[in-house]
Amino acid sequence: MLKKHLILFVFAVFVQFIGFAQSNFYAVDSLREIRIYFYATDWDYQLDSLYVQGDNERILADLTIDGSTYDSVGVRYKGFSSVSVNRVKNPFNIKLDYVIDGQDHYGVDKLKLSNVIQDPSFVREVLTYEIAANYLPSAKANYANVFVNDTLWGLYTNVQAVNKGFLNDHFGNKYNPFFKCNPENLDVTPGGENSNLSNVHGNDGLDYELYYALKSDYGWEELYNLIDTLNNYTDSINNVLNIDRTLWMHSLNYTLVNFDSYIGYGQNYYLYKDKTGQFNPLLWDLNMSFGSFRLTDASSIYFSGFDITQAQNMDPLLHHTQFSVSPRPLLRNLFLSERNRKMYLAHIRTIVNENFANQSYAVRGQYFQNLIDTSVQNDTNKFYSYADFISNLSNPVTLVTADCPGITQLMDARATYLSNYTGFSGEPTIANITVIPQNFVAGADVWITADIVDATEAILGYRFGDNMAFKTTAMFDDGNHNDGLANDGVFGGVILNSANVIDYYLYADNDSAGVFSPVRAAYEFYNIQSQLQVGDVVINEVMSNNVTSVTDASGKFEDWIELYNTTSSPISTSGLFLTDTLGIFQKWELPNQTIPANGYAIIWADEDRSQGDMHANFKLSNLGEQIILTNTDSVLIDSVTYLPQADDIAFARSPNGSGSFIMQVPTFNSNNDFVNSITENKELIKVYPNPFSNIIQWDSFERVEVRDLLGKLIYTDENTNLVQTSNWNSGVYFISLLDINQTVKIIKIK
């Protein structure tokens, strides 16, 4: 079964409605109406002043979206070059929860309204986002008629914000390192370095603060590790970067001639570190795609810009074949690998064939123009004439800096050029993919075979859950890998010690070109799965009265459920359901997340999906109730009826994973048997105060270790009777006095 890289959840009916409404808000066939009512009469002067001062503060307004009204939203201008104090139609950034915490429009809490200044066709941004969404996580975009104090201000593009809500939807969490890659002061010299991920600014993450905007609570060290690895340790790039997703971004930028991006000024993208530990690039600000921006590409040939003919025939491997005047390591260092180059050109082939060779992009462009035709005519503040609007889908329109190419004028010629580019064609063919055995179980070795014609090498990519990066293994046509006879065109590859769920794709290449199956891999992939056996995964620990023990990623003390994989193979939670309500066995569907062999997974029972995909849609009662784990067929995998719990006491299996449940100190995400070695405060030496705030001490000098609830060593000393703790986070710790073999649970309070 072919599955798209989307995370699917089963919510309560209301939550399902909210999710639908948010997605529908950006539906491309919808024309929104947005009305801004500023509180201040001199609102335009105030916004102009904030922009000139470089101040990101906002001014207050009321907002009406398709008839729904919201009070006290915060408004400022959006962007850099698209804003001018001399223009009427400036872009808006509107924050709905600026004053009223939690205020949103069906899940949307920020509006990004672009003024379409560099696009006479009004099509570029919306069409590019629609194409990009087929190949990597992308924002959605549509159109909105914007009114200011009931005066029509013009037709805007309404673009989904790449924020923590976007991250949660596409990556299943939102708390990892997250950067907007736009420099604080744009270097507008041709090919300026800007946010190009070169390592020239220093050897510490904080040296890069002027070039990248941190959007998460932490991440500078991780960003520098990415930069250092990309520039100095190219063999290890896959450990810190999703290379395939990066190649997709480059493929889209070069195919669609989107040079107001990394490949031009080294800007207008985001980086997010996902659950696998890899950074993922995310496209942003696509209003100048299809050749509207042509000032530079940072290479030795087009360092100072290029014309329309050169854009039509732009070499997608310039940063491999030519000198990079301004460093572009995210291109150049990835292209050092011949395989990466072939994979990159395979992605370009897919984009060209699916959108341009078949003319579907032109059909979509005309559809969008028909949709907004009346709105464009009514927009008296637009930057081009209505005739320019009609013409620019196919013909050039003169801008201040250069002609803006007609979209079909550019892309029909570009599709022809790319289709004849060396490496575009001559690829192998992949067919008749077979899984052996078809009815596999977790822990089995699973063989994938396929008919692959004209291939020199073939690769099988696989993973067991979306918290894993894809691994690769070679496929062979040697008669020794379940592939039939040697050299018969059937290739075989094996996935050892498989999980119950496998996502996979195939890739093959020869001296000429490479090919993926499915062609949109690894954003799309094949999926096979088997049912878990009863006992493979168990509910191992429950905490329904978490007062000070451990916080979730948002810093809140929420209740939690711990699952334990009892097997020596990885297990995916895909196809499993948790419920605390008898008769509703599929109340909450777990995501496709891998639990390592003999490992643990934590589900936060906080009824807050907005915090991540491991947050259930129900809470636990501290009076006790039943929790049930089932599969898609409602077969019982495990269940537990827990008892009322005192503060910071868990209900846990002892022995770990197999025993009966007992009340004990929590052992969050770790072996329950650890608690058996812990002695409460009844030992010879008293550790005090407990709870503690800024200091803990005891009556004699001892060798000491302190570990947190996860078992991480946070303090050690060879001879002390006192520890300063003012900089510790609140929560549960275990202090071990090693000379007398005494371990005490201690609790830090603020």
Burial bucket for residue 335 (CB in 10 Å: 0-12, 13-18, 19+): buried
Whether 429-529 and 537-675 share one fold: the answer is: yes
Class of domain 429-529: mainly beta
CA distance 400 to 390: 19
Which residues of 213-254 form beta strands (DSSP E)? Answer: 213-214
Sign of the C-alpha dihedral computed for residues 659, 660, 662 and 667 taken in this order: positive
- Give the pTM: 0.88
Residue type, 170: H
Secondary structure of residue 98 in the 3-state scheme: coil
What pLDDT, on the 0 to 100 scale, is given for residue 615? Answer: 96
Using CA atoms, how far residue 485 sits from 221, 447, 450, in Å, is 51, 16, 13
CB atoms within 10 A of CB 292: 30
Token pair belonging to 346: 């395979």
Sign of the C-alpha dihedral computed for residues 458, 462, 466 and 469 taken in this order: negative
Burial bucket for residue 560 (CB in 10 Å: 0-12, 13-18, 19+): buried
**532-547 per-position pLDDT tens digit:** 989 999 999 999 999 9
For domain 537-675, the question of CATH label 2.60.40 is answered with yes
What pLDDT, on the 0 to 100 scale, is given for residue 566? Answer: 97
Structural domain boundaries in the chain: 2-162, 165-355, 360-419, 429-529, 537-675, 678-748
CATH number of 678-748: 2.60.40.3080
Alpha helices in 634-721 (DSSP H): none
**121-144 per-position pLDDT tens digit:** 999 999 999 999 999 999 999 999
CA distance 552 to 557: 7
Which residues of 298-400 form beta strands (DSSP E)? Answer: 397-398
What pLDDT, on the 0 to 100 scale, is given for residue 34? Answer: 98
Nearest alpha carbon to residue 560 among 586, 542, 578: 542
Contact (CB, 8 A) for 125 and 407:
no
What angle separates helix 243-255 from helix 124-132, to the nearest 10 degrees?
A: 150
CA distance 111 to 76: 11
Q: Would you call the peptide bond into 177 cis, given omega within 30 degrees of 0 as the criterion?
A: no
What pLDDT, on the 0 to 100 scale, is given for residue 177? Answer: 97
Positions in the chain whose pLDDT score sits under 50: 1-20, 677-683
